[in-house]
């Protein structure tokens, strides 16, 4: 009888957390047991060994921590995985350069993490003394693996988390806490089936078999992560992308179910999609600061964006 009561409490707490997550604007919330990611270990090791991370040297750090959330939060019991929608029906200028959808508005690191911390505050207020940490692409966590274990979606061929109901245009974040909860079942079925649209559409052939992406060949890597000059052999392959890339998501059949985000802070400056190519090529540092004041695009700095534009523009 005691075990049933304890299980009932776990279910009650879990439901309470999910209801609060929904109230905060998250489109999905799933919970998994904080444990070692045994299946992911050999895949991560092989990915690094093949140098698919390119110059992202930070990916080599904290190997064990990436696989075990208990090394991030002492006595961690649960990983709460959360999805926050950023999809927009963008009115892009067809004769312009392109910025990834996620970078249109304010930096998600701040917008989403603020909400995850609010969820942690709620848990501590409602349940009691609970220790934990909030993460939004800010720590060595295999977020797609945890999203799958928590039942949010499955990992697609483009290595992103996909949902039958919500597509893939959402940010993932995690809340790792030292509280036992009722755990969701992982999505074991791969609903991509025999579809290879993302593989076929990738301009730089970065998407490999077995749900592997060669990060060092991805347009997002070249336009964001790479600090040196972009390899000349990539000339003509960027399809006008100057920051990030949405190609593999745009062609994914499951994204026909994506609905526009309700988060107004993700709506970007109108100039981003209305600029002509000439406008971009003549952009000044003052205009850059105005348009991308709170945007993830600031990460490239003005000189980085100019490098991308110069590389993509026709000779």
Owner of token pair 């929608």: 85
Quote the DSSP letter at residue 147. H
Q: How far is it between the farthest Cα atoms of the chain?
A: 76
The dihedral built from the CA positions of residue 141, 145, 150 and 152, taken in this order, carries a sign that is: positive
In angstroms, the Cα distances linking 75 to 35, 116, 130, 181, 183 are 11, 20, 11, 14, 17
Q: Could you give the 3-state DSSP secondary structure of residue 84?
A: strand
Owner of token pair 């969820």: 119
Contacts of 201 (CB under 8 A, 6+ apart): 247, 248, 250, 251
Cβ burial, residue 16 (10 Å; 0-12/13-18/19+): middle
> Does the annotation list 220 as a binding residue?
yes
> Does the annotation list 29 as a binding residue?
no
Picking from 209, 203, 205, 191, the residue whose alpha carbon sits closest to that of residue 252 is: 191
Q: Which of 35, 68, 137, 180 is flagged as catalytic?
A: 137
HSE-up (13 A, CA, CB side) for residue 172 = 27
> Does the annotation list 16 as a binding residue?
no
Catalytic residue check, 137:
yes
> Does the annotation list 195 as a binding residue?
yes
> Does the annotation list 202 as a binding residue?
yes
> Does the annotation list 246 as a binding residue?
yes
Rounded CA gap, 246 and 203, in Å?
Answer: 11
H or E element that contains 183: none
> Does the annotation list 70 as a binding residue?
no
> Does the annotation list 192 as a binding residue?
yes
Rounded CA gap, 298 and 277, in Å?
Answer: 20
H or E element that contains 23: helix 2-23
* Residue numbers belonging to the annotated binding site: 66, 137, 158, 172, 192, 195, 198, 202, 218, 220, 227, 245-246, 248, 252
* Residue numbers belonging to the annotated binding site for cob(II)alamin: 66, 137, 158, 172, 220, 245-246
* Residue numbers belonging to the annotated binding site for tRNA: 227
* Residue numbers belonging to the annotated binding site for [4Fe-4S] cluster: 192, 195, 198, 202, 218, 245, 248, 252
- Residues with catalytic function: 137
């Amino acid at each position: 009888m005691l075990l049933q009561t304890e299980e009932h409490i776990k279910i009650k707490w879990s439901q309470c957390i999910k209801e609060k997550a929904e109230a905060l604007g998250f489109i999905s919330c799933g919970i998994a047991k904080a444990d070692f990611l045994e299946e992911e270990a050999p895949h991560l090791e092989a990915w690094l060994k093949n140098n698919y991370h390119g110059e992202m040297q930070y990916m080599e750090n904290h190997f064990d921590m990436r696989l075990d959330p208990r090394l991030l939060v002492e006595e961690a019991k649960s990983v709460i995985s959360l999805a926050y929608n950023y999809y927009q029906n963008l009115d892009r200028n067809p004769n312009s350069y392109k910025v990834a959808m996620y970078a249109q508005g304010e930096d998600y690191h701040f917008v989403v993490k603020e909400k995850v911390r609010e969820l942690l505050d709620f848990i501590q207020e409602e349940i009691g003394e609970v220790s934990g940490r909030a993460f939004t692409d800010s720590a060595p966590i295999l977020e797609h693996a945890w999203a799958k274990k928590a039942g949010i979606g499955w990992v697609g061929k483009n290595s992103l988390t996909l949902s039958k109901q919500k597509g893939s245009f959402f940010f993932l974040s995690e809340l790792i806490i030292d509280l036992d909860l009722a755990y969701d079942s992982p999505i074991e079925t791969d609903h991509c089936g025999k579809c290879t649209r993302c593989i076929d559409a990738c301009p730089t052939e970065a998407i490999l078999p077995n749900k592997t992406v060669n990060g060092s060949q991805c347009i997002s890597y070249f336009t964001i992560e790479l600090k040196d000059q972009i390899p000349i052999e990539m000339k003509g392959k960027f399809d006008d992308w100057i920051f990030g890339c949405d190609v593999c998501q745009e062609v994914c059949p499951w994204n026909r179910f994506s609905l526009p985000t309700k988060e107004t802070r993700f709506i970007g400056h109108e100039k981003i999609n209305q600029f002509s190519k000439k406008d971009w090529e003549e952009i000044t540092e003052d205009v850059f600061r105005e348009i991308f004041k709170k945007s993830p695009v600031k990460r490239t700095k003005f000189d980085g964006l100019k490098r991308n534009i110069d590389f993509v523009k026709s000779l």
